[in-house]
Chain A
Amino acid sequence: MDFVKNSWWLTFGAFFSLGSFMFAALLSDSVPVQPIRYNHAIHISNGLGCEDCHVGARRNEKATLPGLDTCMQCHSEAVGQSPEEAKVRSFAGTSQPIPWVRIMQLPEHVYFSHRRHVALGGMKCAECHGPMETRTEPPTKAFRPMKMDNCIECHRERKASNDCNDCHR
């Protein structure tokens, strides 16, 4: 009888500890925090386009995250009352680049060119990046996860090349 009791406690203990580990893992899978709580919606509604800040989106391989110079073109003087806006100018004082956190990450062995998709393939930014004009907070995860299945599916639909080495470099 003791044995049965013991084994019940053992099983309970094992499940409890496993569960708490998983819970801790879930909590520690932290959301990326951007240095500035950038509001895409307000910028787009004021007439900015994607390429005004992500300058390479149409012309280059990489769309790029905006540097301080880009922000300072408008924000060298205060435009609004947001405390987030003041942070931009405080970064300008340190002469350090804004430490944006990249959320769209491709593995190193994949070649992806924005120019190929946007300029030559005629894709809209929103097809991969989602409706940015509605986002008042910085995105915390990729709208379309960077998975090979997603690439293949879209390439198949649009009859783009599915040859391995066209993307795997």
Chain B
Amino acid sequence: MARWGMVIDLAKCTACQACVVACQAENNVPCVEPEEAERGRILSWLAVVAEVQGSYPRVSMTTRPLPCMHCDSPPCIRVCPVQATGITPEGIVRQTFARCIGCRYCTNACPYTRRMFNWYRPEFRGELQLALNPDVTVRPKGVVEKCTLCHHRLMQAKESVRAEGRPLAEGDYVPACVEICPAGAMYFGDLEDPESRVAQLVRSPRAFRYLEELGTEPKVIFLSQGEWAGGKQEPR
């Protein structure tokens, strides 16, 4: 059984936000009004989060693409009273929108703040209506939504490899954010397979897990930037 995971190389990431846009388009994530975004009601399954370190004049900023971490021990699923969220055998933290009652316990439990509540009925104006992805439902008002690691793509990949009569190979299933990354900073694959690219990168001395000390065991692993982490350059 595969255990899907993602590696994000922060040394390569240019914070161009292509992954954010790809995610919004792939998963029918609605845009909200600027005033509502200021109130923290923005919906973004994947956000590039900036972190300022030090103070003037020695100041530096790190930007970090932050999708759902798909933790092996997710705090969000423990608090769900209706089992609308859970973890699949392949390690994807899932959300069943039709079952969610919108209590927002999970939004508060997620230490990465990667769960969003639909405050309004989603609106897709003009051409956006025509650009909706038919494989992903438009979530109604009042449910919590989150990154599904493009689960529909996994289903499609499984379907086509079964039709071709071969096992799932590396690269058959990639989420939209990883596919679009122009800097090649995102990697995706099976962490269980020791030969896969992600499994090799996870063994790198630069690899770290965000907020690891919380014991959530995230399956999105970052590669730190800078030489101070003792990093040797990974071959592209």
Residues of A within 8 A of B (CB): 107-109, 111, 113, 115-116, 119-120, 163-166, 168-169
List 7 extra interface pairs beyond A164-B96, A165-B96, CB under 8 A.
A111-B135, A115-B159, A116-B159, A163-B94, A164-B94, A166-B155, A169-B152
Closest to A115 in B: B159
Bound CA–CA A119/B163 (angstroms): 8
Contacts of B155 in A (CB 8 A): 111, 166
The contact of A165 among B135, B151, B159, by CB within 8 Å, is: B151
Shortest distance between the CB of A116 and any CB in chain B (Å): 6
Q: Check B163–A120 contact: CB distance below 8 A.
A: yes
Asked whether any CB of chain A lies closer than 8 Å to the CB of B148, the reply is yes
Q: Please report which residues of chain B, range 144-167, place their CB below 8 angstroms from some CB of chain A when the two chains form the complex.
A: 148, 151-152, 155, 159, 162-163
Closest 8 interchain pairs by CB?
A165-B94, A109-B137, A164-B96, A109-B98, A168-B96, A169-B137, A165-B151, A120-B162
Shortest distance between the CB of B71 and any CB in chain A (Å): 17
Q: Check A165–B88 contact: CB distance below 8 A.
A: yes
Bound CA–CA A109/B148 (angstroms): 14
Bound CA–CA A113/B162 (angstroms): 14
Contacts of A164 in B (CB 8 A): 86, 94, 96, 99
Bound CA–CA A116/B98 (angstroms): 22
